[in-house]
A = this chain, B = another copy of it.
Amino acid sequence: MSHLYRQLRIHQIFGANTDVGKTIITAALVRASALKNNNVFYLKPISTGAPLDADDQHVKRYAGPHHHLVDAHCLFRYGDPVSPHLAVQMASDKSDIKLTPASDATFVNAIAEYIRRCAQTRQSGHMYVETAGGVHSPTLSGTTQLDSYRPLFLPTVLVGDSKLGGISSTISSYESLLLRGYIVDAILLFRDQYYRNYEYLLSYFAERGVHVTSLEPPPPRLDNATEDIASTESYYAKLIPRNFDSEIFCTLRHLDECHSSRIEELDSMPRRALDTIWWPFVQHGLVQSEQDVTVIDSAYADFFSVYNSSSKPPSPSSSLLAPQLDGSASWWTQAVGHAHPSLGLAAANAVGRYGHVIFPQATHLPALKLAERLLHEGPGRGWASRAFFSDNGSTGMEVALKMAIRSFSVTAMDELTPRDKKTLGIVGLKGSYHGDTIGAMDATEEGVYTCEWHQSKGFWFEPPTVSIKRGNFTVSVPPAIASSMSAVKFDDLHAIYDIKKRLGSPLAATYRNHVRNVLQALDRHGEQKLAALVLEPIVMGAGGMIFVDPLFQRIMVDTVRDSSLFSNPLPVIFDEVFVGLYRLGFESLGPVLGVDPDISVYAKILTGGVLPLAVTLASERVFQAFNSQSKVDALLHGHSYTAHAVGCQVANTTLDLLEQLSQHDSWSAAREKWVCEPGSEKIWSFWDPNFVHSISSLDIVDETMTLGTVLAIKFKDNSAGYASHSAQALLRSIKTSACDGSLSSAPGGAPFGIHYRTLGNVAYFMTSLNTPRDTIEEVENRLWRVLSRTPVM
């Protein structure tokens, strides 16, 4: 991940094209840095072309008449002056030994290793990392440079193109850099007096706050080698005068300032955040120290790059930025890792084509395609006919509630008094959570999350739950349902999720009677007319990662639709905001339960973990309840940014990526591990079954459970609940990195800490849908090491 050292300033040099003078300008920077008495490191990770002409030779030769160039180094060298990916192939063709192109990880780790070594050798100075060709020239693996170097997140100097057409390639290259999130500290280019690109670019980039410097172009190359060297040396001597009076020194000063002000800013951020931010779900009274603030400088794939005052490096040779695994998938949003270039391009493309455009009675391609996709090929397949857009899971659920309640009111109109209509309630489960807006909260029980205006509207069943307890696959039945059996053991998880088979079991009959009796009693009691069933299928997230017995949820659905019980069946809402779109390994949970809802809601993963958007899907029957000739009957809910093109386009791209991932080997491999017998491929997890079992058998652990990307560990704790800090306390040590000397799977190989969230006495860990197996394994090993050594409290 990112490298940042207090005393060692590092810049990577990208070129707006090949042959724009990248090496000359880098050599000039090296010489200027050296003349200013800095230790200087020059790294050219890949060099192609004749060895004698190699860039590191050039830099060494003209580094100046002093001895501050500590090292000029090249990691991968190929003779053919072609693009690196081709050079590998050509070198391979010429040799008996077949070369394997270096993978992106090898490449990044080699650079990271070099940087670490330099930081240890000399703790202060300047380092210049010169890339090859243009910004998007391929590296050895074939990945383009901008994407290859991105995990290192080094600040950038762009060498502009001074030739005809160079204005264009300079601006385009700059835009490609910004698209990958890079910091561009300066643009340098030659002062070509005919095309005068520098004049244009100076003013273009001044408007954008980017520092541009133009430099005298180099002399023409001379045929006589000695003369050429003399002429080049005199060029450098003039460009970098001993009195420090030239443009290059301004640039140097500017780069130094960028470096020190970046560190100052990072230093200041914890204090500034503590002074201005009001965090969600945070008791500020308990967060007063700068060390409590996670400063996220950037993020890449599964990792944050954090600057944490609590982890102030013991020595100046440690990077100020360290990788930290995003262990909660950033509050359950991440699907394909942070900073995915396809999603950035999708977002930018939608802004460029539309911005946001008004949606009522209007349509645009990104929204229309997303709606059709979710309805016809996605979770709405087979039952949903309409897509309603809103801004997040909570608003999506408010829309769902408005739909369900109206839909019920319209069908049950004859039986409802005006008072009934105002007090219609929902049926749900204790532990439900549907979002933070007050209406969504009203669809749950009163609890710690609810505010003064909260008013529970409905009835909530206590749910039987699924877990692995001391290695046993267990359904725990609460006494309210069946006092005689508190735990039912199963041979494997598949048996628990084989609803079809279980529908005929004695437990099913017990559930059926319980649900029926309770609902009938409520109806007789008559205080509140029930109008909808609202479920988070399979897992209740915010309630504490509660894995509900799917059989119970199935029977709830069947019961509220039983016409012998309800003259008007209750509409069923599936809140799939958290559980849907493969979070639990399934596109949607209806097929797992074996029933379709009337309404369902999607958000979080929907937009690939980039920005908020929600879609509420509804059946034709629900839609028709609002259909009339009167405007006031319409669903009068709509946010200004409804179906914003950016969110829709990012969602479409995300669904493309999910489709590719669902065919990916890593998914098959994970599935493979969970198969017990043929036909049991249904239930699976990215987490290793043996690990989950082992953890469940520890004395401090009450139970564990996993599906898809989610791992939940419930600790034994008498003071359980949201206010409990036991899980936090137990796991504190995994937040900071532990170095065992080996390379980690974080990009660059640095040891990583794990950022995690807890819900009282439940710790959970959540991966993206493309987190590599080795990263998950490191988390498993880390958890095992910490938890297996913890004595029982």
Contacts and interface: CB of A to CB of B under 8 A. Distances in A.
Nearest to A371: B276
A181 B439 CA distance: 38
Given A359-B279, A610-B646, A629-B286, A136 B639 contact: no
Interface stretch (A65-73, A221-229, A342-350, A563-571): A342-350
A625 to B, nearest CB: 11
Contacts of A455: 422, 455
A125 interface: no
A696 B332 CA distance: 54
A295 B328 contact: no
The quantity of this chain's copies bound in the complex is 2
B644 A294 contact: no
Contacts of A608: 355
A392 interface: yes
Interface string A618-658: 10000100111111111111111110101100000000000
Given A295-B363, A296-B357, A451-B405, A283 B398 contact: no
A146 to B, nearest CB: 9
Contacts of A265: 365
Interface string A754-782: 01010000000000000000000000000
Given A360-B279, A365-B265, A299 B347 contact: no
Given A394-B395, A438-B437, A133 B722 contact: no
Interface in A656-687: none
A61 to B, nearest CB: 24
Contacts of A367: 277
B627 A284 contact: yes
Of A168, A176, A196, A292, chain B has the most CB atoms within 10 Å of the CB of: A168
B344 A351 contact: yes
B401 A391 contact: no
B634 A326 contact: no
A490 interface: no
Report whether over half of chain A's contact residues are helix, strand or loop; otherwise say mixed: mixed
Interface residues of A, number: 172
Contact of A176 (B83, B138, B172, B282): B172
A81 interface: yes
A135 interface: yes
A776 to B, nearest CB: 19
A355 B372 contact: no
B136 A167 contact: yes
A515 interface: no
A436 B637 contact: yes
Contacts of A17: 17, 165, 168-169
A354 B333 contact: no
Contacts of A604: 640
Contacts of A349: 178-179, 181, 344
A152 interface: no
A424 interface: yes
B452 A424 contact: yes
A325 to B, nearest CB: 12
Nearest to A647: B611
A439 B453 contact: yes
A457 interface: yes
19 contacts: A15-B165, A133-B167, A277-B371, A280-B637, A280-B642, A281-B637, A282-B360, A295-B362, A330-B357, A330-B358, A332-B640, A339-B352, A392-B392, A405-B453, A604-B640, A612-B640, A612-B641, A631-B722, A631-B723
Given A298-B353, A392-B640, A394-B437, 19 more contacts: A83-B164, A169-B169, A172-B173, A178-B348, A178-B349, A179-B348, A179-B349, A181-B354, A265-B365, A278-B388, A278-B635, A294-B362, A294-B363, A299-B354, A338-B357, A391-B612, A436-B638, A448-B636, A612-B612
Query: What 5 A-B pairs come out closest when comparing CB atoms?
Result: A280-B638, A134-B168, A438-B439, A181-B353, A18-B165
